[in-house]
Structure 1
Amino acid sequence: MKAMKKFTLTVFCILAGCIFFLSGIWIYFQKSLDRVELGEGEHAASYQRHYLMISNDKDTGMWQSVYESASKEAEEKDAYVELLSPEQMNGYSQADCLKIGIASQVDGIILEADGSKEEQHLINEALKGGIPVVTVMTDDTATGRISFVGLNSYQTGSAYTEQISGMLKAQGTTSVMFLSTSSSKTQETNLVYSQVKKELETQKKTGQSVDLTEYCVDSSADFDTEEFVRDMFVNDENLPDVLVCMDEVVTECVYQALIDYNQVGNVKVIGFYYSDVILDAIDKEIISSAIALDMDEIGRYSVNALDEYLSLGHSNNYYSVNQHVITKENTKDYRTEDEK
């Protein structure tokens, strides 16, 4: 009887060991099937996860910075980030790019939300299909996106206020215009504008007043922003004392108009982001300063949010990124090694 029990126990242990061994092989096999294979020959590489980043092609410099940071972070997490933009797809819309990501069954999607009903539907469709979506720079709380990575409106508003305060006339009224495009004007930028308005009202000195306005250019066509800026400078009686640009495209258009219409020094300009053109303009003191979100943090936090969600089943709902004030004193910090 004891011999039978001992035999049975031995057989059970052997079977359990076999099952454990085979389970391990099966899990490894499944993971191997799930890996993303890229390239051929000696350049071939494989990754556990495949993320799709859908860019706003109008701000190519900004998106390239976000993509490079995201790619670096993803590589450390055994993932691959693919950058896709409507411009690359020969006129496809951002919604079309989102459909491609869903059909390709990528492991996660990163995009700047545009607030359209079609995109909201597609984001929720992706989530139903097990594809988490992270929104960056522009949020859409009407969707089930897992996380938003973007600016802190309070801190960014304070940064703009500090720059504007130094440009106010000692006495009298200073006209300040916030200029954005339909693609850059978001709930976040609205909050920044409100924060600046509130802070300027409390910080202005005796005898100072501020006429603060905002204007949004319809940027549905590429030339619309440039045309609006040109018209504003042609009718120079409408020019404000201080012009605050809320995106990269507007900043570069204003810079060119200042030169073309001989208005350098007549209008003080606060730009946005740090393209080579904008950095040159700051060095030449044509643009006073620029505010830029930390694009490296946007890319890094986006990948972290996806990785955390896929690994743990949840992620932070909101990642706040820092902003930088770029002036003539620190432009070198934002140039590439070759440019330095």
Structure 2
Amino acid sequence: MNKKKKFVILFISLFLVLTIAIATVLINSVREESAPIDDKFAQSVEKPDYHFAVIAPSSYDPFWSDVKKGAFKAAREFNVAVEFNSPRFTNLDEELQYLNIAIASNVDGIATHVPDETMFTPVINNAIKNNIPVVTVESDANNSGRMAYIGNNNYEVGTVGGKMVADATDGKSKVAIILNGYIPDAGDVSQNLRVTGFKDAVKSYKGKVDIEEIRISGMGIFSAGEIANELITNNPQINAIFCTNPRDTLGVTQMVVDLNKVGQIKVVGSGSYPEILRYIEKNVIYGSVVSDPQDMGYKAIRALVELKTAKRTSAYVGTEVYAVTKDNVAALSTGDTGK
């Protein structure tokens, strides 16, 4: 009996050791194949030819996580080092600090988000003065010395949004537009282009689309929700809201749900966060203006490489903008999110 017990214990022990060994090998294999790139820094395997800095508004925003993926993909392809810096949450002063640090570090090139053109223009010009090429990503500083802008055609963003609002309301709507502003009262040219595109898009519809209100949200999801609450409460004629930012889209949608206005108020948003796509599938959000942030990140690094090697690049590098509604949301739901 004792021998039998010893044999059983030995067999179980060997089985456990073998199981742990196999699990360890499998886990290490998966880690090697799919290990995430370091949140802040990515460097090619070989000695990098250049060291670039990317400055983004938030490390918690899925959109900018996808921009980072694209930038890191380009880093490997072009054999460059890319340092990706951003505040945890949107903070203009921290973004400026990262930009100044990149200049002081004498990096070979900078790709930066621009939350406020007035404040960022002199810093960008200082980088150019120090022979550091700068490209802007997603938001522009057109009056600065930046070499290129990589991102959406903001007029087209407004056009796509305007067409969806008109379609959602059969060309008859009283609409509120909520623009995202990192500084609530900032005069953002790109945002104005979105409004212009929206206005031009709805002109061609036989019905009547009137813009009742244009508001600028602050930081975070609650600001847009609060604005929506005020708009809906004080303007009962409003039957559509267009948002130009994913977080604002979710804030407005939540308020529409809370006020039991689903179906009565058509929401057209921006971005392809998973929550936004689910709301579209459930007919809570009519549609969303979607772009490709990974493409932005990739093209930003490519532009910097071109500026270093060929001394030139295109001044404007566009990325695709398109409408997502219930008709095509299923295809996007199976792909990358955060766009």
Q: TM-score, normalised by structure 1?
A: 0.77
Inter-CA distance 69–338: structure 2 relative to 1 (3 Å threshold) = closer
- Contact 2:178–2:224 (Cα < 8 Å) also in 1: no
Identical aligned residues as a percent? 26
- CA offset digits 1:231-258 (Å, max 9, x no partner): 334x164462111111111101012112
- Give the whole-Å Cα distance in 2 for the aligned partners of 1:132 and 1:230: 44
State whether residues 90 and 219 of structure 2, in contact with CA within 8 Å, keep that contact through their aligned partners in structure 1. no
- Which of 272, 278, 281 is equivalent to 1:280? 278
Larger radius of gyration: 1
Question: Partner of 1:183: helix, strand, or coil?
Answer: coil
Q: CA offset at residue 334 of structure 1?
A: 2.8
- Relative distance call for 1:287 and 1:39 in structure 2 (3 A) is closer
- Partner of 1:327 in structure 2? 325
Task: Name the CA distance, whole Å, in 2 between partners of 1:152 and 1:334.
Answer: 21
Q: CA deviation at 1:301?
A: 1.5
Query: In structure 2, do the counterparts of structure 1 residues 247 and 221 end up closer, same or farther at CA, with 3 Å as the change threshold?
Result: closer
Secondary structure of 1:296 counterpart: helix
Residues 52 and 110 in structure 1, CA contact (< 8 A), matched pair in contact too: yes
Structure 2 contact 42–81 (Cα < 8 Å) conserved: no
How far apart, CA to CA, are the structure 1 residues paired with 2:168 and 2:188?
Answer: 26
Q: Work out the CA distance in 2 between the residues paired with 1:250 and 1:240.
A: 17
Q: Which position in structure 1 is the counterpart of 2:175? A: 176
Summarize deviations over 1:186-235 as a string: whole Å, max 9, x none: 3223123213213322x222xx32212442334157743333233334x1
Task: Tell me which amino acid in the other structure corresponds to 2:148.
Answer: S
Unaligned runs of 5+ in 2: 1-40
How do 1:2-17 and structure 2 match up within 5 A? none
Describe the SS at the equivalent of 1:264: coil
Secondary structure in 2 matching 1:224: helix
Matched, 1:192 2:194: yes
Distance of aligned partners of 1:283 and 1:112 in 2 relative to their CA distance in 1, 3 Å threshold: same
CA drift of 1:83 comes to 1.6
**Would the alpha carbon gap of residues 229 and 332 (structure 1) be closer, same or farther in structure 2, given more than 3 Å must change?**
same
Secondary structure, counterpart of 2:116 in structure 1: coil
The residue that corresponds to 1:230 in the other structure is 229
AA of the residue aligned to 2:73:
K
CA 1:251 to 1:222, structure 2 compared with 1: closer, same or farther past 3 Å? closer
Distance (Å, rounded) in 2 between the aligned partners of 1:248 and 1:121: 29
Q: Which residue of 1 aligns with 2:311?
A: 313
Give the alignment of 1:142-157 within 5 angstroms: 142-157=143-158
Residues 220/277 of structure 1: CA separation in 2 closer, same or farther (3 Å cut): closer
What corresponds to 1:114 in structure 2?
Answer: 115
Question: Does the CA-based 8 Å contact 1:123-1:145 persist in structure 2?
Answer: yes
Greater relative contact order: 1 or 2 (C-alpha under 8 angstroms, separation 6 or more)? 2
- The runs of 5 or more residues in structure 1 that have no matched partner are 1-37
Q: Are positions 1:204 and 2:202 aligned together?
A: no
Secondary structure of 1:125's counterpart equals: helix
Deviation (angstroms), 1:140? 0.9
Using a 3 Å threshold, how does the CA distance of structure 1 residues 331 and 137 change in structure 2: closer, same or farther? same
Counterpart CA distance in 2 for 1:89 and 1:295 is 17
Name the stretch that deviates more: 256-265 or 110-119: 110-119
Q: Residues 330, 141 of structure 1: CA spacing in aligned structure 2 closer, same or farther, 3 A cutoff? A: same
